Structure 1
Amino acid sequence: MNNPVDLLLVCQLGMGLFWILTYILIIKRGFQDKAYGMPMVAICANVSWEFIFAFIYPQNDLQQKITIIWFVLDIVILIQYLIYGRKEFKKYLSNKLFYACFFITLGISFLTILAITQEFNDYEGIYTAFFQNLMMSGLFISLLFWRGNLNGQSLSIAIFKMLGTLFASVAFFIYFRTSLITILSVATLLYDWIYIFFLCKFYSRRIKAR
């Protein structure tokens, strides 16, 4: 694999594959636990980004196909949130307020990502993708502690997400390195490790409680 293009392709396929597996495992765990597996803001940002860069500003042919697969899987995760999240927030929000919060957040996410893309000429969605990946890593940790249990989450989900981030980080570090992308990549990987650490703590606590 002497051709640098080959390494870039491997990173692109690795990123695509591990995030596809992450989404599939989130969906599987969500149906199993009857609980949504991705925080609302992360869902809204993901679906918005994937729609924009699959259909409005499509990337190269391979990446567009990967992005469309992500989009389809995230729609399922979105539906899980609307079904299971409504039940989880029933004591805090009325149905109308729950749906209003979700769709307002979805609309703001879409418009914000679109505006950043146009204002900073980021038509490959690089900066928005890395920012929202970092945000997602932090939100997974928050969801874990807010619930206080492993519903909708698992160690395999966290590991596959981290591996997807690692492939993306390596590709951009080698070929499109900037100080900001490097900081965002390192920070995301750090939060992914923290998330894995706390998941292990929760697993250990559950085993001891048996």
Structure 2
Amino acid sequence: MGSQWINLTDYTVTQQVLFFADAIFWAVTYLLVIYYARKYKFFGIPVEAAVANIAWELMFSFFFTTELGDLFVWGIRLWLFTDVVMIYFHFKYGAKQVRVPLIKQFFHLASIIGFVFWCWIIYGFATEYGDPIGAGTGYILNIIMSTLFIFLFLAHPEQKALNFPIAFWKGFGTVFVGIGIYLGDTPSPFVIAVASITFMLDLFYMGLTLNREKVIAFIKKNKQDEQISETVLQG
């Protein structure tokens, strides 16, 4: 394995630059989520995906280590410091995303159970199939997160904590790893497929955030049409 800090034996300089760019973009994403959560009193990541994401970072900080080099191992561990703040805002404002009364009532417990379950799933997947840099499990979580971002925005289009800056940094940060793996000697068809679909979902989410007023107007019009239809049927 090349350098202790950066593995240039199994990965090229270009790949390492892409992986490093991914880490920077995700770090900015986390800082933006924290900033907008404080500003708008709304947690800007789908809560279902947030617990999975934190579980991934915990598992790849201490139970598994990426083979990219110690720089990335410690980089993931440093993310845990931002996770502490993220967890705080998750528990403080995350329940606002939930519309099912029973789940909302037990939101904290559901979050903890979800975190434990995702740790178990990630451990099982990485142990059975292998996940040398965490890309396999990472992209499974990312495609779920990108899908949930769209549904969350459509449910709360007025929430400004769901915005283009977060969508941009998250979307392009995620795609860098897919490109890096594609450029490798043995590219993973699974990771490339999931990375491509995830990026398409992220682009769609970016488009939604850039057209917030049109989305709100469309949703309002649909609700009005539904009310008119119900009135006609009842009459």
Q: So what's the TM-score if we normalise by structure 1?
A: 0.88
Among candidates 10, 15, 20, match of residue 17 of structure 2: 10
Task: Tell whether the 8 Å contact from 2:167 to 2:202 is kept in structure 1 after alignment.
Answer: yes
How big is the shift at 1:96? 5.5
Larger RCO (alpha carbons 8 Å, 6+ apart): 1
Q: Describe the shift of the 1:101–1:179 C-alpha distance in structure 2 as closer, same or farther (beyond 3 A).
A: same
**2:168 is matched by which residue type in structure 1?**
I
How big is the shift at 1:203? 5.0
Task: Tell whether the 8 Å contact from 2:47 to 2:97 is kept in structure 1 after alignment.
Answer: no
Identity among equivalent pairs (%) = 24
Can you give the 5+ residue segments of structure 1 that lack an aligned partner in the other structure?
none
Q: Describe the shift of the 1:35–1:72 C-alpha distance in structure 2 as closer, same or farther (beyond 3 A).
A: same
Query: How many residues are paired up?
Result: 205
For the pair shown, which has the larger CA radius of gyration, 1 or 2?
A: 2
For 2:101, what is the secondary structure of its paired residue? Answer: coil
Residue 193 of structure 2 is aligned to residue 191 of structure 1: no
In 2, Cα distance between the equivalents of 1:127 and 1:143? 24
Among candidates 50, 69, 73, match of residue 64 of structure 1: 73
Q: Where does residue 29 of structure 1 map in the other structure? A: 36
For the aligned residue pairs, the C-alpha RMSD in angstroms reads 2.3
The farther-off stretch of 86-95 and 124-133 is 86-95
Q: 1:156-202, CA deviations, whole angstroms, 9 ceiling, x for partnerless residues?
A: 11111111112111101101412211110110110011001111110
The farther-off stretch of 99-108 and 143-152 is 143-152
Q: Where does residue 180 of structure 1 map in the other structure? A: 190
**1:9 is matched by which residue type in structure 2?**
Q
In 1, Cα distance between the equivalents of 2:215 and 2:125? 43
In 2, Cα distance between the equivalents of 1:109 and 1:174? 29
Q: Where does residue 171 of structure 1 map in the other structure? A: 180
After TM superposition, the structure 1 = structure 2 runs for residues 61-140 of structure 1, keeping only pairs within 5 Å, are 61-86=70-95, 89=98, 92-93=101-102, 97-140=106-149
Among candidates 181, 192, 202, match of residue 212 of structure 2: 202
Q: Describe the shift of the 1:201–1:51 C-alpha distance in structure 2 as closer, same or farther (beyond 3 A).
A: same
How big is the shift at 1:94? 7.4
Q: Describe the shift of the 1:90–1:200 C-alpha distance in structure 2 as closer, same or farther (beyond 3 A).
A: closer
The farther-off stretch of 117-126 and 53-62 is 117-126
In 2, Cα distance between the equivalents of 1:192 and 1:198? 10
Task: Tell whether the 8 Å contact from 1:150 to 1:202 is kept in structure 2 after alignment.
Answer: no
